[in-house]
């Protein structure tokens, strides 16, 4: 079970502050979504922190023709998010199976309406960038919740210009004294690649991913990567899962939860360690 040390009233008060602070995208959705010279997190000048809860989900692949029930299961996720009062939901890509298919995008639009909180996302390899931008804004963006930066990265394009955008975003988070920094990207990062080195360098707390259709976590030098099977299909023994993160000033607690009761189990293996509540100390 999750060990929540903060009192419930404190958490509730924290959520109220989160709602007041609001959410900001790096840039308006209507601008061209190339890599900007420097990420700007508008309206997030305050360094005020209050505890909050968010959900990390992945790969809903809504409207997928060979996966019946994707909308129903994504709806279950919305119910969970609504019932625990999550401040927001981040979806780590592959929102639909065929990114430009109108019926699948309609299923996505309908599903998004069922969440009572903001839903943020990054594109996966199945997503169409134009359709993504229309719904979520630029594919590389930063938003701030309660003095925590969420740096959203399009991992389909880790070119030099994309990486320099990411480095600017991470530098700015340090300059702005963010309490915690999360990076959201569809493909899990690799340590020996340039992106792995960047993530280690700037004090990222956690990297939230999808794509594998598996659930697990891996410690890296300076940060932890989490990946979730998501709401459409799974390729491990753990079933459909999502992560709940409880964010406190001095620690972040993570819990992997099954979407459907009695389906799947978390089985520890050397390559895919069991997910469990995690506590990350402040740097
Ligand atoms: Zn994928």
Question: Going from the N-terminus, what domains does the chain have, and what CATH number goes with each?
Answer: 13-256 (3.60.21.10)
pLDDT band at 232 (very low <50, low <70, confident <90, very high): confident
Taking a C-beta distance cutoff of 8 angstroms, is the pair 138, 107 a contact?
no
What order do you get walking across the sheet with 141-145 strand by strand?
A: 141-145, 148-153, 180-185, 206-209, 224-227, 216-219
Predicted structure pTM score: 0.80
- Do residues 180 and 156 make contact, with C-beta atoms less than 8 angstroms apart? no
Distance 241 CA to ligand 1 centre (A): 16
Q: Work out the pLDDT band at 256, boundaries 50, 70, 90.
A: very high
Tell me, in angstroms, the distance from the centre of ligand 1 to residue 140's CA: 17
- In this predicted structure, what is the pLDDT of residue 67? 86
| Mean pLDDT, range 139-148, rounded to an integer | 94
Ligand 1 centroid to Cα of residue 224, in Å, is 20
In the reported structure, the alpha carbon of residue 219 is separated from the centroid of ligand 1 by a whole-number distance in angstroms of 21
From the CB of residue 47, how many other CB atoms can be counted at a distance below 10 Å?
A: 11
- Centre of ligand 1 to C-alpha 58, Å, is 9
Cα 234 to averaged position of ligand 1 atoms, centre (Å): 12
> Rounded to the nearest whole angstrom, what is the distance from the C-alpha of residue 127 to the centroid of ligand 1?
9
pLDDT of residue 101: 93
- Give the per-residue pLDDT at 34: 37
> What spacing in Å lies between the alpha carbon of 68 and ligand 1's midpoint?
18
């Amino acid at each position: 079970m999750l060990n929540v040390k903060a009192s419930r009233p404190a958490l509730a008060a924290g959520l109220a502050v989160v709602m007041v602070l609001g959410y900001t995208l790096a840039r308006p959705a209507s601008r061209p979504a190339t890599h900007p010279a420097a990420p700007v997190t508008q309206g997030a000048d305050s360094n005020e922190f209050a505890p909050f809860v968010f959900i990390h989900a992945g790969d809903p692949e809504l409207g997928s023709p060979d996966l019946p029930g994707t909308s129903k299961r994504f709806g279950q996720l919305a119910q969970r998010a609504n019932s625990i009062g999550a401040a927001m939901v981040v979806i780590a890509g592959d929102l639909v199976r065929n990114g430009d298919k109108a019926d699948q995008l309609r299923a996505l639009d309908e599903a998004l309406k069922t969440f009572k909180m903001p839903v943020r996302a990054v594109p996966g390899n199945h997503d169409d960038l134009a359709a993504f931008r229309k719904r979520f804004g630029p594919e590389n963006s930063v938003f701030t919740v309660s003095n925590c930066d969420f740096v959203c990265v399009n991992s389909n394009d880790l070119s030099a210009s994309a990486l320099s955008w990411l480095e600017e975003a991470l530098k700015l988070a340090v300059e702005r004294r963010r309490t915690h920094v999360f990076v959201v990207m569809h493909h899990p990062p690799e340590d020996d690649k340039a992106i792995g080195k960047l993530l280690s360098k700037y004090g990222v707390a956690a990297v939230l991913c999808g794509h594998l259709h598996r659930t697990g976590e891996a410690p890296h030098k300076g940060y932890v990567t989490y990946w979730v099977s998501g709401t459409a299909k799974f390729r491990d023994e753990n079933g459909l899962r999502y992560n709940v993160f409880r964010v406190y000033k001095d620690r972040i607690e993570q819990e992997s939860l099954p979407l459907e009761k009695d389906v799947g189990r978390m089985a520890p293996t050397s390559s895919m360690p069991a997910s469990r509540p995690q506590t990350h100390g402040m740097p």
